[in-house]
Structure 1
């Protein structure tokens, strides 16, 4: 994975994906990927993968946003799409997946990968994983290119971490362009498998009984061997935030920045607000805004 791969991805997705602006929110710059057509950054990687691989049909497993992105991209390319989601996935996400024309398959959380792989074999579909694929990572890395272009003197970049595709792509782009920039991953305390993995120097997996405790439903996946190796090389560190800190960041983004963030999308802002990393010209990735309306209302009201 290098800059040529990410720049090629930027050319492929141009016109199909929004080049999101940097929005000032107090002393922080926000990269609002919630403004993408499917409400999250995942469209970058999904569209790049289909444009590069040109499959006849696709299947994936997803907590919601990657499924929406792949369904949206597959519709654009005129190919069938099947999305396997875990029980308990937010209705706002599963409804959107089906709305883009994909077939929705709901399974227990610990069965989603197995189910997707079985469908790929049985139906002859191409698996497009949410993060464990070079084309996906390159697509997400286009965010890093845009950050450096739009804020050349950036000093700190904060990125939500789940399976690690987003952080792998952005960290690669930023570090190869600006090695002096500090790049940090951010996780919920209740799903901090990436922090444990990088601390121990080996990939650690957390059971769904642990990760499903966090409100940040998009940050419950484990790192893959590929993303672990990239993050180990590129990240300056990983910090964690509490559930209350995530909710506070959601309120802050809504009231101060006029930006809607789902819990997963607010963790990078939470890390900044809580002083988890050094100060300086900081960009926080708002990775998605697909939040359940009832939950959002409760959070804004201080619940």
Structure 2
């Protein structure tokens, strides 16, 4: 496509001195919540859709974009489709928040709600929607995490840190790790891609965070193969994939990666702590990685002995499934848990 990409450049900010618990190193956030769709997903989805439309335009058919999502991939698909001027249909699971549906409809997307989790929504999209389309329609199907173009697009925020000189050459040499949340693995794959194509960062390890309620990566690593979970029940709905990408398992074996599993409410607390510090709403899925800056600083041990001038970058991936009232509901859950733990 000749148009510009729908994603934008995002900030890299240091929060070291703002943290209540003193970290062993400098902590930076890559602020992907600044993307117009609300999350990092727009980088990969914009790249996937833009590239796919080039091929689709040769068909002479009516082009429509289709995506399944826990929320944020759908919002990215809808935003990118609107940017390029094509209709978009998004299938969401019943666990999706009303605020996400409102935002999708506000972007002009057709919304279908089906299935208990993303996996069922995706199956319905492929088997019951796309397969029965009129032959005059060219469907551009956008998987939310399983496509090389997605990973290539997501990794551009790593390129940006280098190319936009968001860190000096000396600071780049001090980067000891990148922290990201893991659901289906698209973000993790993008981080590895971005690191490995930048000489200054190619050997930087990754700390991947998921929750006990959706341990797809941990289960796959332990089994040595991708495993499909039978059931998902999580507050971190954007991490609610029944399986992790095959490429994630491959990256885990080839790129130095640590995997930590925390509780849903720890992820929720990370989201709340971030809101209290910055006033920015994200999702529990984002809170999983952010928790490493606030309440789970001990997980930084996975990067070895850190010096005060060393740097760890946390991907503040964003998410649009939380409103101010939802956040207060989450706060009550965390407060209730903390009160019980003190007894």
Instruction: State TM-score, norm by structure 2.
Output: 0.78
CA distance in 2, matches of 1:14, 1:25: 31
Tell which deviates more after alignment, 216-225 or 148-157: 148-157
CA distance in 2, matches of 1:235, 1:105: 39
Structure 2 unaligned residues grouped into runs of 5+: 17-25, 57-62, 336-343
**Equivalent residues of 1:148, 1:174 under 8 A apart:** no
Decide which of 60, 68, 79 is 1:61's aligned counterpart.
68
Check if 1:139 corresponds to 2:149: no
**Deviation of 1:13 (Å):** 8.7
**Equivalent residues of 1:25, 1:253 under 8 A apart:** no
**Equivalent residues of 1:268, 1:284 under 8 A apart:** yes
Once the two structures are superposed, the pairs formed by residues 111-122 of structure 1 within 5 Å of their partners are: 111-118=120-127, 119-122=129-132
Once the two structures are superposed, the pairs formed by residues 110-259 of structure 1 within 5 Å of their partners are: 110-118=119-127, 119-123=129-133, 124=137, 125-149=139-163, 150-151=166-167, 152=172, 153-177=174-198, 178-207=201-230, 209=231, 211-212=232-233, 214-221=234-241, 222-259=243-280
Instruction: State TM-score, norm by structure 1.
Output: 0.88
Structure 1 unaligned residues grouped into runs of 5+: 1-10
**Deviation of 1:12 (Å):** 8.4
What corresponds to 1:78 in structure 2?
85
CA distance in 2, matches of 1:57, 1:15: 18
CA distance in 2, matches of 1:170, 1:92: 28
**Equivalent residues of 1:144, 1:174 under 8 A apart:** yes
CA distance in 2, matches of 1:51, 1:82: 16
What corresponds to 1:25 in structure 2?
15
Q: What is the root-mean-square deviation of aligned Cα atoms in Å?
A: 2.2
What corresponds to 1:8 in structure 2?
none
Q: For the pair shown, which has the larger CA radius of gyration, 1 or 2?
A: 2
Once the two structures are superposed, the pairs formed by residues 28-43 of structure 1 within 5 Å of their partners are: 28-43=27-42
What corresponds to 1:102 in structure 2?
109
What corresponds to 1:283 in structure 2?
313
CA distance in 1, matches of 2:272, 2:122: 34
**Equivalent residues of 2:93, 2:121 under 8 A apart:** yes
**Equivalent residues of 1:25, 1:256 under 8 A apart:** no
| 1:226–1:181 Cα change, 3 Å | closer
- 3-state SS in 1 of match to 2:300: coil
| 1:193–1:235 Cα change, 3 Å | farther
